[in-house]
Amino acid sequence: MMTSPSKLIFLILLLMPAAAVSAQVKKNPKPKPVAPVATTTPAPTPTAMPKPTPGKKNERPVDVKKTTVSKSYAPTYFYDFDRPGFTYSHIAIEHDANGKGQIALTKDGYDEIWTDPLQLTAATLEKLNVALAALDFINSTESYQYPTRDYSHMGNMTLKVVRNGKERTVKYNWTENKDAMALMEEYRRISNEYTWRFEIILARENQPLQTPGLMDAITAYVNRKEISDPPHLIPFLTELSSDERLPLMARNRATKLIKQIEKAKK
């Protein structure tokens, strides 16, 4: 049996490791929790949104009959020709006393109405006014339609003139009155020029190989005196004669026709 001193030594030795551990714990205290470091997450790079593709326009061609157009002239002469089933089923011309106006054409197979500014020459206006004066058109009550000949299947002409606060409209397709016939033929000559212009403008843009034949067509019109005032064609023919989109044959024929018209003027 251990003596008291021995017990004391034994107890000291037994307690020494616990004391050492306790001292070590005190020297190395439990670390305090550290607040997490805030990190900045880069904002995502914005992606450019594609621009919306505009919707396809599907507009109907403008109908000049249903549209109010700002005009720099006040028309007093109105010519209208309907020819159902023909290449040009409708031709409408309007102009003022100075010859400034517009022509509208409807071609078979096309939905739109083609319009073009119109400027009649002094020579053309004189022919129209001479015939109107001979008829005393505004004051007359005569019907120029020949009663036993109806050629409406060939087209009807409607002519209206506004003058001195009065206006008169007549419609006929055949007449034996020479002055009424002169009016019909003069407006037909004007129409010949502008329908030809329409055809060659289309051909120049889309089918240049057709232009030599169209140059032959206008030459035939001039030779048959079916153009109101041939010198009026010269500026446009000059433009065509130097247009390299046209075959050389067409340009040469334009140049030849210019010379022919200039020679006839002398």
> Under a CB-based contact definition with an 8 Å cutoff, are residues 195 and 88 in contact?
yes
Cβ proximity of 228 and 124 under 8 Å: yes
pLDDT in tens, 32-58: 444 443 333 333 333 333 333 333 333
Using alpha carbons, list the distances in angstroms from residue 266 to 23, 159, 224, 238.
135, 34, 19, 19
Angle at 154 between CA 135 and CA 117, to 5 degrees: 70
Show me where the domains of the chain are located.
Answer: 64-179
- pLDDT tens digit sequence for 112-140: 899 999 999 999 999 999 999 999 999 99
Could you write out the DSSP letters of every residue in 2-29? Answer: --HHHHHHHHHHHHHHHHHHHHHHHHSP
DSSP strand pairing (114-119 vs 156-163): unpaired
Is 64-179 a domain of CATH 3.30.1560? yes
CA distance 184 to 137: 14
Pairwise CA distance, residues 201 & 133, whole Å? 36
Residues 140-186: tens digit of each pLDDT:
999 999 988 888 888 899 999 999 999 999 999 999 999 999 999 99
pTM above 0.85, yes or no: no
